[in-house]
Structure 1
Amino acid sequence: MAGRALRPFLRHTAHKLQTQPKFNYYRTFLSASYRCEEAWNKRLQLPLIAAIKPSEYFYELDLKYKQEGKVSAIDVDLFVNKIEKSEAVGFEDEIEDLIHRLRRSPETVRTLPSTPHAVLRVLSEGGCTPTLLKLISDPLNYGIFPDHYISNLLMDTFLEQKNYTAAARVASIHMLQEDFGSSLTQALTLASCYSYVTSEENQPWEDYTPQVEQPEEEVKIRVKFLRNPYFDDHFDLKDPNHIVGKTLAWLSPLIGGSVGISCEILGWALYNKWKELDTALDSANKGTDSVAASVLTRVKNFLETCDDLEIKERITSGILRLEASGDKVAELDLGSCINEMVQKAATEAESSDIKAQEDTYLSWEKIRENEFQVQLDEYKKRQLLAEIERKKKDLAEREEVIFFFDNKEKLEMLLPDTRRKYYPKKLSLRYPKKKPRKVDEGYIPPEVIQR
């Protein structure tokens, strides 16, 4: 038990030594008040959460899981909300383990809305970026879907740390869920993807999908039929450029203007969707918004990978038409334009988002209390039913003793039959059945004389 209690502290110390010089902060789009620190930390003062000791609580949950084979949604929510940012590294593995167990159990349908938010916020504030990216990249096994508010916080934090890979991965979740949220979420998503595309010092885009281990020896399995390989071109995307490109291509029409059309063209080129790129170039030629010259330069580089000569010529012709017109191509600094867009959206949405999130935290407290009361009632009900069954069994045994002589004949019929049964002898192949003796009918027994 002592080793279990010390393990989180040791992991936190090692993580702090390894990651202390890692981050390079430069600025943030969201203000400090946007994080709602005071309202968020009020959860630690609630009676349900304040009484929890994380190490002991996890030990009890782990023991309960091994005995009953299930984990409760409210228990997981209480545990992850109890973890503070200073303890995140120490309980990083425990959080992942409990979330995975909850997701793979029937209780996952009762997951509280505060659970994913608490997991992502604690891991982000504690600097556990690899685990955070692993959880959001594998929703099938973890069931972590960030809401728009926590998504804004994550993208802003990663942009502040110049971790553009992590910011782009969070931004791509909106594309996969086909929900880009409010104007602030859209602007931060655009900034994250564009920063990833233009940065030359991105971290590796790791694949967190569980890999099936291939057996060393060849194993043949008989199957009725083989399924044809299927690629849905959405959730099955693995190439980072394709994922970020599709996010840009789908988001940019919502942005509009020169920034929107420029990022849409860049997105289709990254995504290697040449027909859609040709359509976007035609729209740019017919429209009034100008396209950034830097985008066209990047598109020309991506176009070298196109194998269709006909579509390649059409795209090249579209680019030449844009460049030939004097007002369709402009020397725009897209990075600065996007930053101004994010700052404007943050200023407009900050007060309403803060008020909405504070109200959300209050509603989560009521939901948590109601769910805890429901589980407590179910626990009391199970205890009561178990007590009733025990009393019924005890009464049945006492009734059997009291009415023993009245039911003696019935009880004797229930006893096993101990009489010896006759089983015919089995014939042996080695020793055949003996022939019956011949009876001498003329045999006269000797006379017995009594002395």
Structure 2
Amino acid sequence: ELLIDVEDKLIRKKYVSSLDIEILAAKLTHVETTEDLKLAETILEKFRHTPEALDFQQSLAYSLIRNYLDLGQKERLLPILNDKVKYGIFLDRFSANLLLNAFLLEKKYKEAAQVCIDLMLQDQDDDQLTRALGLNACYNYYLIATEEDFKNTIVEEDDEDIVKVKVQFVRNLTNDDHYDLMDKRKLLGKTIAYLTRDANNSSLYSLQILGNILYKKFGRVCDILQTILDNAQLQVDEGIMKILEKELDAYVYNPEESKENLPQSAYRRLELIPEAARDIIKEKLLPQLRERNKIVSLDLKQFVETNLIDQAKLADKRDTSKHEQQINIWSRERQEQFDDQIHRFVIEQKKTNLMERLRLLEERDELLNFFE
């Protein structure tokens, strides 16, 4: 009934407040069919393109995530999170942790990695628990991923459904290497590198190297290896180094492919070209690492599991109070929205009453002056 009421307001009045959408999201656990969920998603999409979407609150994403999890429909969240223009849902630390945990408990590493990529693109993982969850998801996904998983799939539409309309279009003349990044392997690599950007031990540095290998940033690998050489406490995993050597040997410069790619954005950092990085790594850094016995066997799979457990224990102590504080903030914001909506309603009622009184006065004036 609530779904129908909100949809009716959107269609008939062309107005739905963000508070209405929040109430709708909070009541999603009462839906009975997937058709109801589809209707809720359609309402969210329509609301996203109204002026009232400017009042969009972060608590909406949290309510949406929690209720989809309660309904056992977490997979439906992935396309919603992926399409920011259509739905505009951005994860906060609490909703991200809930969703990642749900996928990891079922060992759905691919889906969890997609959530991590979304967080990386939004530059949102300052929470240590989120990083630990993300690292666990991404590394485990890397271990089980196949070449098929990294292929970009193109959804072909039926010719009958395609309607071509001529519109003004601004072409993208450069590649920002972030939002323009479409290669699934590079996205996973960039996410792993991002999650380990504050590395402080051998395992994290090894994973950071893996991320940059997948991301094809061999110049950054040079920097990391030099850091390991300069620090007596650091070592690097031999399995990661084998992957690095394999990738370096397999790399072949393709001038035709380079011509097809968009030029690099002027705002991107300068990088060593792969050929130069390969020479530095193979001729200088690798021999030094071997000479100093820096290449050892590390159990990275065990590390990501242990790291997650350790961070979860710390989070139990510090995050409960932060979560409560955030809930209180959201409750206060919703109350402010509610008060504002009541205020608007009262003003609208007064306007309606004034217009009605004005109409009655005009009618009486017309009667009084009928014979003049």
Return the TM-score normalized by structure 2.
Answer: 0.83
| Residue pair 2:62, 2:94 contacting (<8 A) in 1 also | no
The structure that is helix-richer by fraction is 2
Answering whether residue 102 of structure 2 is matched by residue 122 of structure 1, we say no
State how far apart, in whole Å, the 2-side matches of 1:103 and 1:361 are: 23
Counterpart among 329, 346, 350 of residue 295 in structure 2: 329
Aligned to 1:286: 230
State how far apart, in whole Å, the 1-side matches of 2:364 and 2:30 are: 59
Give runs of aligned pairs for residues 356-375 of structure 1, distance below 5 A.
356-375=322-341
Aligned to 1:236: 180
State how far apart, in whole Å, the 2-side matches of 1:323 and 1:239 are: 31
1:365 deviates by 3.1
Return the TM-score normalized by structure 1.
Answer: 0.70
State how far apart, in whole Å, the 2-side matches of 1:247 and 1:270 are: 10
State how far apart, in whole Å, the 1-side matches of 2:154 and 2:60 are: 22
Distance 1:280 1:103, change over 3 A: same
Q: How many residues end up aligned between the 2 structures?
A: 350
Give runs of aligned pairs for residues 298-313 of structure 1, distance below 5 A.
298-303=243-248, 304-307=250-253, 309-313=275-279
State how far apart, in whole Å, the 2-side matches of 1:359 and 1:100 are: 30
Give runs of aligned pairs for residues 138-149 of structure 1, distance below 5 A.
138-149=83-94
State how far apart, in whole Å, the 2-side matches of 1:220 and 1:58 are: 33
Give runs of aligned pairs for residues 331-346 of structure 1, distance below 5 A.
331-346=297-312
**Aligned AA for 1:271?**
Y
1:131 deviates by 1.8
1:377 deviates by 2.6
**Aligned AA for 1:400?**
E
State how far apart, in whole Å, the 2-side matches of 1:356 and 1:399 are: 64
| Residue pair 1:164, 1:202 contacting (<8 A) in 2 also | no
Aligned to 1:72: 17
Which protein has the larger Cα radius of gyration, Structure 1 or Structure 2? 1
List runs of 5+ in structure 1 lacking aligned partners: 1-55, 407-451
Answering whether residue 279 of structure 2 is matched by residue 296 of structure 1, we say no
**Aligned AA for 2:348?**
R
Aligned to 1:413: none
**Aligned AA for 1:253?**
R
State how far apart, in whole Å, the 2-side matches of 1:382 and 1:132 are: 37
Aligned to 1:255: 199
| Residue pair 1:244, 1:267 contacting (<8 A) in 2 also | yes
**Secondary structure of 1:142's match?**
coil
Q: What's the % identity of the aligned pairs?
A: 25
Aligned to 2:50: 105
**Secondary structure of 1:253's match?**
coil
1:145 deviates by 0.9
Aligned to 1:391: 357
Query: Please, which moves more after superposition, 96-105 or 300-309?
Result: 300-309
1:207 deviates by 7.8
Aligned to 2:315: 349
Counterpart among 129, 137, 147 of residue 82 in structure 2: 137
State how far apart, in whole Å, the 2-side matches of 1:208 and 1:107 are: 35
**Aligned AA for 2:183?**
D
Distance 1:193 1:217, change over 3 A: closer
**Aligned AA for 1:349?**
A
